[in-house]
Chains A and B, each alone.
Chain A
Amino acid sequence: MTFTGLIGRICLFPLELIIKTSVALKIHPNILTFVGLLINVAAAWALAVGAFVPAGGIMIVGNIFDYIDGKVANELNAVSAFGGFWDSVIDRFSDLSLFIGLIYLYSSMHRTDYVIVAALTMMFAIMTSYTRARAESLIKKCKVGFMERPERIVLFMIGAFTNRMAAVLWVILVLSVFTVADRIIYTYRELREPQVAA
Chain B
Amino acid sequence: MSQNTPLPLRILWNAFFWTYERATWQYDLMVIAILAFVWLTPPSWLGDPMAGGSGPIGWILEQLR
CB of B25 within 8 A of CB of A2, answer yes
Q: Which residues of chain B from 17 to 37 have any CB-CB distance to chain A below 8 Å in the complex?
A: 17-19, 22-25, 27-28, 30-31, 34-35, 37
Binding site for A on B (CB under 8 A): 16-19, 22-25, 27-28, 30-31, 34-35, 37-39, 41, 43, 46-52
The answer for the CA separation of A165 and B37 in the assembled complex, in Å, is: 12
Q: Contacts of B47 on A, CB cut-off 8 Å?
A: 113-114, 166
Contact A4 B48 (CB under 8 A): no
B27, A168: Cβ atoms closer than 8 Å: no
> Least Cβ distance of B50 to chain A in Å?
6
Q: Are B52 and A146 touching (Cβ within 8 A)?
A: no
A2 CA to B46 CA, complexed, in Å: 31
Q: Does the CB pair B28–A4 fall under 8 Å? A: yes
A70→B28 CA distance, assembly (Å): 26
Output the least CB separation between B23 and chain A (Å).
Answer: 4
Number of interface residues of A (CB under 8 A): 36
**Residues 84-97 of chain A: 1 if any B CB is under 8 Å from the residue's CB, otherwise 0?**
00000000000000
> Does residue A145 face the partner (Cβ distance < 8 Å to B)?
yes
11 A-B pairs whose Cβ atoms sit less than 8 Å apart in the complex = A2-B25, A4-B23, A50-B50, A114-B47, A114-B49, A144-B18, A158-B35, A167-B37, A168-B38, A178-B16, A186-B17
Given contacts A179-B18, A186-B17, 10 further A-B contacts (CB under 8 A): A2-B28, A4-B31, A50-B50, A146-B18, A159-B38, A162-B39, A163-B51, A165-B48, A175-B34, A185-B17
Q: Is the CB of A167 within 8 A of B18?
A: no
Q: A117: shortest Cβ distance to chain B, in Å?
A: 9
Contact at A171–B34, with CB atoms within 8 Å?
yes
Cβ-based interface call for A164 (8 A): yes
Q: How far is the CB of A10 from chain B (nearest CB, A)?
A: 13
**Contact A2 B24, beta carbon cutoff 8 Å:** yes
- Decide if A82 is an interface residue (CB 8 Å cutoff): no
Chain A positions 16 through 58: 1 when the CB is less than 8 Å from some CB of chain B, otherwise 0: 0000000000000000000000000000000000101000000
